[in-house]
């Protein structure tokens, strides 16, 4: 039996392709959703772009018939007609005399009204990314779900590493030949690191071209004068320093070294090895806690506040490199000579970025579509690194399973140009590690 999906505004703002994601079922947009889309159409951010794209699509569908009666949709995958779209105004009221001046309640009213008219009460489903609205819908007995078209199972998110027990002969052969066939029956992904164990002996191989090969060595076991403090940090640096890997995703809790390792590799590859022309660092402009409002100064002065975590890491890295020299002067010199560029993500759309080492920090606050937009900016000989902690998200409509960082880590795991590692331990300080574990 075909189902009826009632969409909340935030679903369309999250993904402009949402209308085509429900196969041969009926999609219903409450009139309140159309009104709310109108409020976002002038925004110059991703919400505004999605709003305008959805409205244009709905207007094009209007040519096929009356939206109030239902018009055919096109399946995004095959381009064939599949399902219908209707715009519905709610009638009557909700139990409990809920305030109908609230847009969310008017959306609930449409779902409730359609459910009361349906033969099967479970065939009408409200789709929303708003947790509070999901609770209210459930309280009214309306089936409700998150928009999961671009979701991954965070609990099962690809970690980039695996362990297995092997015979002693396999380890001996690995160290002698620098490569072995993977254990039979073990499903591995491109550039996954496997720890092979036999008693007290072990070896780490990297899965490439159907074999476990010896990973690249770090010269002097260091990158830009810093040493990895854990197996995961060493793997991260090996992925970051490998020219064959064009995109790296680093997931880990606060203090695990994601940004520090990415910047260390960037400084090494740009300033010492000359493999890239410059470093581009960007991060979403999303405040933690209450926003402090508008900031004075030009673009660079405004950005300096948002980029302070980047300056903190550069301060740590450059202090060890330039003792006695002002770190601020060194950073300013890198910016002046175009070796280092700090940019807001707002200005990346439309750019082509060749021959650069690009770091996107706090990528867990980006939607899958925003991550696609950013990664598609990469030109020839550009390496991209996305870092973040999916358990610390400030975007109100994203969670650990629906954010762009988790999405790309899972979707790219079989591509040879991608490498991923989950950093499990905080290395910032004993106090930071305690906070991450116990608070």
Question: What integer pLDDT is reported at residue 291 of this predicted model?
Answer: 47
The reply to whether 141 and 223 lie within a common domain is no
The reply to whether 242 and 365 lie within a common domain is yes
Is the pLDDT at 81 greater than 60, yes or no?
A: no
Residues 58 and 37 sit within 8 Å (Cβ to Cβ) = no
Is the pLDDT at 396 greater than 90, yes or no?
A: no
Domain that holds residue 261: 219-438
In-domain check, residue 126: yes
Q: Among residues 144, 132, 147, 186, which one has the least CA distance to residue 407?
A: 147
The reply to whether 399 and 277 lie within a common domain is yes
Q: What is the mean pLDDT of residues 282-294?
A: 59
> 28 in the Ramachandran plot: left (φ > 0), alpha (ψ -120 to 50) or beta?
beta
> What pTM was computed for the model?
0.79
Which range of 147-151, 161-165, 297-301 scores highest in mean pLDDT? It is 161-165
Share of the chain above pLDDT 90, in %: 55
The reply to whether 278 and 415 lie within a common domain is yes
Question: What integer pLDDT is reported at residue 114 of this predicted model?
Answer: 94
How many domains is the chain built from?
2
| Spatial distance between the Cα atoms of 377 and 266, rounded to a whole number of angstroms | 18
Of 145, 160, 194, the one marking the end of a domain is 145
Cα separations in angstroms, 291 against 44, 77, 194, 285, 380: 19, 40, 44, 11, 38
Question: What integer pLDDT is reported at residue 323 of this predicted model?
Answer: 54
CATH number at residue 88: 3.40.50.1010
Question: What integer pLDDT is reported at residue 290 of this predicted model?
Answer: 46
Question: What integer pLDDT is reported at residue 78 of this predicted model?
Answer: 52
| Spatial distance between the Cα atoms of 186 and 164, rounded to a whole number of angstroms | 9
Q: What is the mean pLDDT of residues 314-332?
A: 72
| Spatial distance between the Cα atoms of 210 and 235, rounded to a whole number of angstroms | 19
The reply to whether 122 and 270 lie within a common domain is no
| Spatial distance between the Cα atoms of 422 and 159, rounded to a whole number of angstroms | 5
pLDDT, one tens digit per residue, over 182-231 is 998 899 999 999 999 999 999 999 999 999 999 999 988 899 989 999 99
Is the pLDDT at 289 greater than 50, yes or no?
A: no
Question: What integer pLDDT is reported at residue 6 of this predicted model?
Answer: 96
Judged by average pLDDT, the poorest of 215-224, 254-263, 283-292, 387-396 is 283-292
SS3 385: strand
């Amino acid at each position: 039996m075909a189902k009826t999906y009632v969409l909340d505004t935030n679903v369309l703002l999250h993904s402009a392709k949402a209308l085509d994601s429900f196969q041969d079922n009926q999609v219903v947009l409450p009139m309140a959703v159309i009104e709310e889309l109108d409020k976002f159409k002038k925004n110059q951010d991703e919400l505004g772009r999605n709003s305008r794209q959805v409205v244009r699509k709905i207007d094009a569908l209007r040519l096929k018939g009356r939206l109030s009666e239902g018009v055919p949709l096109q399946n995004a995958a095959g381009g064939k007609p599949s399902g219908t779209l209707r715009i519905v105004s709610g009638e009557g009221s909700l139990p409990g005399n809920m305030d109908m001046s609230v847009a969310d309640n008017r959306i609930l009213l449409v779902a409730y009204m359609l459910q009361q008219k349906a033969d099967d009460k479970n065939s009408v489903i409200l789709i929303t990314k708003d947790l509070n609205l999901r609770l209210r819908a459930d309280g009214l007995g309306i089936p409700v779900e998150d928009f999961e078209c671009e979701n991954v199972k965070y609990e099962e998110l690809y970690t980039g590493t695996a362990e297995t027990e092997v015979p002693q002969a396999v380890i001996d052969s690995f160290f002698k030949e620098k490569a072995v066939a993977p254990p039979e029956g073990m499903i591995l992904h491109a550039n996954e690191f496997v720890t092979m164990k036999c008693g007290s002996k072990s070896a780490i191989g990297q899965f490439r071209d159907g074999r476990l090969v010896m990973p690249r060595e770090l010269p002097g076991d260091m990158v830009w004068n810093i040493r990895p403090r854990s197996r995961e940090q060493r793997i991260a640096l090996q992925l970051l320093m490998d020219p064959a890997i064009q995109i790296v995703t680093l997931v880990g809790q606060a203090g695990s070294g994601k940004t520090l390792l990415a910047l260390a590799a960037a400084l090494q590859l740009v300033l010492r090895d000359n493999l890239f022309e410059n470093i581009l660092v960007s991060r979403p402009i999303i405040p933690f806690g209450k926003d402090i409002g508008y900031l004075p100064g030009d673009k660079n002065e405004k950005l300096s506040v948002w980029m302070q975590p980047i300056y903190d890491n550069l301060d740590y890295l450059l202090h060890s490199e330039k003792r006695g020299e002002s770190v601020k002067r060194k950073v300013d010199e890198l910016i002046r000579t175009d070796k280092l560029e700090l940019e807001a993500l707002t200005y990346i759309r439309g750019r082509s970025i060749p021959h650069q080492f690009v770091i996107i920090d706090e990528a867990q606050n980006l939607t899958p579509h925003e991550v696609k937009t950013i990664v598609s900016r990469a030109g020839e000989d550009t390496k991209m690194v996305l870092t973040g902690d999916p358990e610390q998200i400030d975007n109100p409509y994203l969670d650990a399973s629906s954010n762009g960082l988790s999405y790309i880590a899972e979707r790219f795991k079989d591509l040879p140009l991608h490498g991923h590692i989950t950093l499990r331990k905080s290395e910032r300080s004993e106090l930071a590690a305690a906070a991450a574990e116990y608070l």
